[in-house]
């Protein structure tokens, strides 16, 4: 390669200028954004005004020399800033896609579709008609009036989901029926809007409008969406799952999301569509993957909305010419466009409200919400300017409409929402959704089951089968084997110790009660465990690991990779009270596990057949661990058509602790009744058959064991908190007694 072929690095002044531009735009945008947020207005309005403040309208008048040095630069220099702006735009569309709830749209069904059609058809028609009669001076390419009219129609049809969602959250009505309808209709509206935008922008790039180019563009959109929501959907799910399994880090998942969006954006850009369509679709697809949970979405959203999106909005405002809006002709056209935009949305929504079975106040609320254009309108305007469809005057008008309608929406919705009554069905649904958000079982995504093939872990798999059935929960089965010869020997061991740090090097190797298995027996063990899961459960992932320092260390290393539940099998029967209940491996894993752990103990080597789970005994004391254990029991029972026997035992004072006569336990019994009734209500809601009992006994643990024997319970499920005692995991005297003496298997969940 000759010196002439080597790309010269970015010059010192060019790099300095882009850094200063980025700093100034981000600082002013975030400052004004927070200022507007503090007075109850969308932050995007302040971020747009930041560009106006730094543009020719303000900074250009107040300090023209500063403005000229900062922003009156060459096209190549300004394009550097535009690259950052486009990254912000792509990330913003990913966030919008992540917030698009396909299940919500499906659940709202006909009503959402009727509302969205009203909210897009009428504005599209009025916007198209307006574009057809506007003066030619407002069209960048007068010969493409049809394309301009289609573009203006699309701009009038779009809504701003982020602004709508923000207002609904602030008013605490986002989970109400009206909030769900607005979001569902807005999502359908925007999805159609983005497809229209990609189509119109693709037509604009051809330079002419003809039937052939229009059909080609539409077919390109349909083909991309068809592949994305079939092959692409499966690929996205598998890729996210693989990355989570292989790396188990938030950084890896966020990188995967961004890479997918950039790749899809490159594909749609290559097809003559917009990169934002690819980014939006990837956001929708990834948003449906349970592994990409709320925390990850929030993390990506924070980075986007705090750094990259504000710069995009500020640059959009930077292009806005306030002086041009002061021109009587431009101002008059702006007022007309604003009036048509508001009329189209309200007329469309109010016109279909009776067909959707909604009241007048509901129609006003939905119309007010969907009339907000916000960030989405800015994106449309930016693409129109870049595609040569809009003049700077028309661009400024559309940006001004985005600002004004975003300011209007909160005021309209705050006024109309309190006039909409909450129905009983709506209240029940809100309570169910609140439970799902806080539920232990409903938020399980990954479960780890270490096994040596014993009866305990096989019975643990038997319990997990009904829990995993019909749920998007991944089960990983881990088998720890002895290191094979030639796997590294002493050198590998020393390297492993150095990697784990000085603390691991100094820790003495403890005796393992649960030893590793022979390397050639792993497949047989996996097969035995999987047979207990049942036929309707997705095949688990098999993980074979060679023992590191210890079996416990190996299990803990694997459990740190993003699991929600760790299930351990351990025999506690036959041990005397003087002996530790669990092996050193289980003791250490339970104490140091980064997630809740469930210990399953059987009393014999015989695992019950698949159809033997008919009765579950659930002792409860009302703690968080008891509630989590109850959720597990109810989920299993609902899947197996089993009965859950909910038991609360009030402890009676022993004979030598009484002063005189029988003690009054009515208050404790009343509390017990409240506890079991609360659990029973949850069980019925989850579809389980329940039986409640409150009794008293001088030894609650003996009563639990005795009741399990009397009622022929198949398994006891109970919760307990781990307490440290003599360097072992102590679950309490009551739990340990039950595990040792019960005649049936026992599952203890430590939350």
| Three-point CA angle 737, 738, 744, nearest 5° | 140
Mean pLDDT to the nearest integer, 158-185: 72
For the cut 50, the answer to whether the pLDDT of residue 435 exceeds it is yes
Query: Of 420, 437, 458, which closes a domain?
Result: 420
Distance CA 562, CA 248 (A): 5
| More confidently predicted of 374 and 477 | 477
441 belongs to a structural domain: no
Verify that 78 and 44 share a domain, yes or no: yes
Question: Is the pLDDT assigned to residue 612 strictly greater than 60?
Answer: yes
**Residue 438 belongs to a domain:** no
The Cα 618–Cα 691 span in angstroms is 10
Q: Is 4 a domain residue?
A: no
Q: Binning pLDDT at 50, 70 and 90, where does residue 575 land?
A: low
Claim to verify: residue 314 and residue 451 sit in the same structural domain? no
Residues 412 and 495 in one domain: no
Alpha carbons 542 and 330: distance in angstroms, whole number: 67
1-27: average pLDDT: 81
pLDDT at 262 over 90: yes
Q: Could you give the CA distance from residue 361 to residue 349 in angstroms, rounded to a whole number? A: 12
Confidence (pLDDT) at 1: 53
Question: What is the mean pLDDT of the segment spanning 653-665?
Answer: 59
Between 48 and 401, where is the model more confident? Answer: 401
In angstroms, rounded to a whole number, what is the distance separating the alpha carbons of residues 379 and 623?
50
Range of the domain at 550: 446-654+664-750
- Is it the case that residue 340 has pLDDT exceeding 90? yes
Q: Within a domain: residue 609? A: yes
In the prediction, which pLDDT does 261 show? 94
In CATH, what number is assigned to the domain containing residue 140?
A: 1.20.1530.20
Lowest mean pLDDT among 62-76, 543-557, 644-658, 703-717: 644-658
Task: Kindly state whether residue 432 falls inside one of the protein's structural domains.
Answer: no
Model confidence over 445-454: pLDDT tens digits?
Answer: 889 999 888 8
112-134 confidence digits (pLDDT tens): 788 888 888 899 999 999 999 88
Pick from 261, 300, 291, 234: which is nearest to 99 by CA?
300
Cβ-Cβ contacts under 8 Å for 542 (sequence gap 6 or more): 477, 479, 522, 526
| Same domain, residue pair 523 and 602 | yes
pLDDT above 60 (res 71): yes
**pLDDT (0 to 100) of residue 517:** 65
367 and 458 in a single domain? The answer is no
Model confidence at 576: pLDDT above 70? no
For helices 177-206 and 374-386, angle between their N-to-C axes, nearest 10 degrees: 0
Q: Do residues 364 and 472 share a domain? A: no
Flag the least confident range among 6-15, 62-71, 711-720. 6-15
Provide the domain count of the chain: 2
Can you give the pLDDT at residue 499?
43
Do residue 460 and residue 387 come from a single domain?
no
Query: pLDDT band at residue 509, thresholds of 50, 70 and 90?
Result: very low
The torsion defined by the Cα of 146, 148, 154 and 156, in degrees rounded to 10, comes to: -120
3 state DSSP class of 723? strand
- The whole model's pTM is what? 0.66
Per-residue confidence (pLDDT) for residue 502, from 0 to 100: 35
Give me the pLDDT at residue 506, please.
Answer: 35
Which of 497-501, 515-519, 596-600, 719-723 is the least confident region? Answer: 497-501
pLDDT at 605 over 60: no
- pLDDT tens string 463-492: 998 888 878 788 888 888 876 654 444 444
- More confident call, 557 vs 423: 557
Residue 690 burial (C-beta neighbours within 10 Å; 0-12, 13-18, 19+): buried
Most confident region among 156-170, 173-187, 362-376, 656-670 by mean pLDDT: 362-376
Distances (CA, A) of 260 to 106, 222, 332, 491, 579: 25, 19, 44, 40, 54
> CA-to-CA distance for 49 and 313, rounded, in angstroms?
9
Residue 1 belongs to some domain of the structure: no
Band of pLDDT at residue 170, cut at 50, 70 and 90: low
The confidence score (pLDDT) of residue 519 equals: 66
Task: Kindly state whether residues 558 and 688 are assigned to the same domain.
Answer: yes
Indicate whether 500 pLDDT > 50.
no
Q: How confident is the model at residue 513 (pLDDT cuts 50, 70, 90)?
A: very low
Both tokens assigned to 12 = 């010192």
User: Within a domain: residue 433?
Assistant: no
Q: Would you say residue 503 has pLDDT above 50?
A: no
Q: Are residues 506 and 611 in the same domain?
A: yes
Q: Within this chain, do residues 338 and 410 fall inside the same structural domain, yes or no?
A: yes
Give, as one character, the DSSP assignment of residue 565. E
Q: Identify whether residues 339 and 215 lie together within a single domain.
A: yes
Which has the minimum average pLDDT: 286-290, 402-406, 568-572, 723-727?
Answer: 723-727
- Residue 233's pLDDT is 92
Residue 429 has pLDDT above 80, yes or no: no
Quote the pLDDT of residue 632. Answer: 93
Between 726 and 665, whose confidence is greater? 665
pLDDT on residue 507: 36
Question: Residue 501: its pLDDT value, please?
Answer: 41
User: What average pLDDT does range 156-179 have in this prediction?
Assistant: 71
Checking if the pLDDT of 385 tops 90, the result is no
659 pLDDT band, cuts 50/70/90, is low
Confidence at residue 280, expressed as pLDDT on a 0 to 100 scale = 83
CATH number at residue 728: 3.40.50.12370
Looking at the structure, tell me whether residues 454 and 328 fall in a common domain. no
Q: Give the span between the Cα atoms of 259 and 247, in whole angstroms.
A: 16
440 in any annotated domain: no
From the number of C-beta atoms within 10 Å of its C-beta (0-12, 13-18, 19+), residue 186 rates as buried
For 152-163, what is each residue's pLDDT tens digit?
Answer: 888 888 876 666
- Mean pLDDT across the chain: 80
**According to the model, what pLDDT value does residue 724 have?**
56
First to last CA, the chain: 63
User: What pLDDT is recorded for position 27?
Assistant: 94
């Amino acid at each position: 390669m000759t010196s002439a072929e080597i790309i010269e690095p970015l010059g010192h002044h060019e790099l300095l200028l882009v850094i200063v531009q980025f700093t100034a735009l981000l600082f002013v945008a975030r400052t004004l954004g927070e200022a507007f947020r503090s007075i109850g207005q969308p932050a995007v309005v302040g971020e747009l005004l930041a560009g106006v403040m730094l543009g020719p309208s303000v900074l250009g008048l107040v300090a023209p020399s500063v403005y000229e040095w900062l922003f009156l630069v060459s096209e190549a220099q300004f394009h550097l800033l535009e690259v950052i702006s486009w990254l912000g735009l792509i990330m913003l569309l990913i966030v919008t896609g992540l917030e698009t709830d396909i299940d919500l749209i499906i659940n709202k069904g006909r009503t959402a579709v009727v509302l969205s059609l009203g909210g897009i058809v009428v504005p599209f028609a009025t916007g198209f008609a307006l574009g057809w009669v506007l003066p030619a001076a407002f069209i960048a390419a007068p010969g493409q009036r049809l394309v301009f009219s289609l573009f203006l129609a699309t701009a009038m049809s779009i809504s701003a989901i982020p602004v709508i969602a923000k207002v609904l959250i602030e008013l605490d009505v986002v989970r109400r029926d009206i909030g769900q309808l607005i979001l569902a209709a807005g999502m359908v509206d925007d999805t159609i809007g983005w497809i229209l935008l990609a189509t119109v922008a693709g037509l604009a790039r051809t330079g002419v409008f003809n039937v052939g180019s229009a059909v080609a563009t539409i077919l390109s959109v349909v083909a991309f969406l068809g592949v994305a929501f079939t092959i692409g959907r499966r690929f996205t799910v598998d890729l996210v799952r693989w990355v989570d399994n292989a790396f188990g880090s938030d950084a890896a998942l966020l990188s995967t999301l961004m890479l997918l969006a950039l790749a899809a954006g490159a594909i749609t850009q290559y097809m003559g569509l917009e990169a934002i369509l690819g980014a939006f679709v990837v956001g929708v697809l990834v948003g449906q993957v349970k592994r990409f949970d709320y925390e990850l979405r929030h993390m990506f959203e924070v980075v986007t909305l705090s750094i990259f999106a504000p710069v995009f909005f500020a640059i959009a405002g930077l292009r806005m010419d306030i002086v041009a809006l002061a021109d009587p002709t431009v101002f008059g056209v702006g007022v007309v466009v604003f009036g048509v935009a508001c009329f189209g949305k309200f007329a469309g929504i109010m016109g279909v409200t009776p067909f959707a079975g909604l009241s007048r106040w509901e129609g006003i609320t939905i119309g007010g919400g969907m009339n907000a254009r916000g960030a989405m309108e800015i994106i449309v305007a930016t693409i129109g300017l870049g595609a040569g469809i809009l003049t700077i005057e028309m661009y400024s008008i559309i940006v001004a409409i985005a600002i004004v309608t975003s300011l209007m929406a909160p005021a309209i919705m705050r006024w109309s929402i309190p006039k909409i009554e909450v129905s009983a069905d709506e209240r029940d649904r809100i309570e169910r959704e609140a439970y799902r958000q806080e539920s232990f079982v409903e938020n399980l995504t990954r479960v780890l089951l270490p096994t040596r093939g014993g009866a305990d872990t096989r019975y643990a798999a038997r319990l997990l089968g009904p829990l995993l059935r019909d749920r998007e929960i991944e089960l990983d089965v881990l088998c720890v084997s002895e290191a094979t010869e030639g796997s590294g020997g002493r050198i590998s061991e020393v390297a492993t110790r150095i990697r784990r740090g000085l603390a691991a090097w100094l820790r003495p190797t403890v005796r393992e009660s649960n030893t590793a298995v022979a390397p050639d027996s792993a497949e047989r063990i996996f097969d035995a465990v999987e047979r207990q899961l049942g036929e309707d459960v997705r095949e688990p992932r098999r993980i074979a690991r060679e023992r590191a320092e210890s079996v416990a260390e190996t299990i803990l290393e694997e459990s740190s990779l993003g699991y929600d539940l760790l299930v351990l099998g351990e025999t506690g029967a036959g041990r005397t009270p003087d002996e530790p209940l669990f092996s050193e491996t289980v003791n250490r894993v339970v104490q140091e596990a980064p997630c809740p752990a469930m210990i399953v103990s059987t009393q014999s080597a015989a695992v019950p057949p698949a159809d033997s789970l008919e009765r579950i005994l659930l002792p409860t004391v009302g703690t968080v661990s008891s509630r989590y254990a109850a959720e597990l029991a109810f989920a299993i029972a609902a899947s197996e058509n089993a009965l859950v026997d909910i038991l609360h035992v009030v402890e009676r004072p022993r004979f030598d602790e009484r002063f005189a006569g029988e003690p009054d336990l009515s208050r404790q019994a009343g509390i017990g009744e409240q506890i079991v009734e609360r659990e029973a209500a949850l069980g019925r809601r989850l579809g389980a058959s329940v039986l409640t009992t409150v009794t008293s006994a001088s030894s609650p643990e003996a009563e639990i064991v005795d009741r399990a024997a009397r009622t022929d319970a198949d398994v006891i499920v109970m919760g307990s908190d781990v307490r440290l005692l003599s360097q072992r995991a102590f679950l309490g005297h009551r739990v340990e007694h039950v595990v040792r003496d019960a005649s049936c298997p026992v599952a203890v969940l430590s939350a």
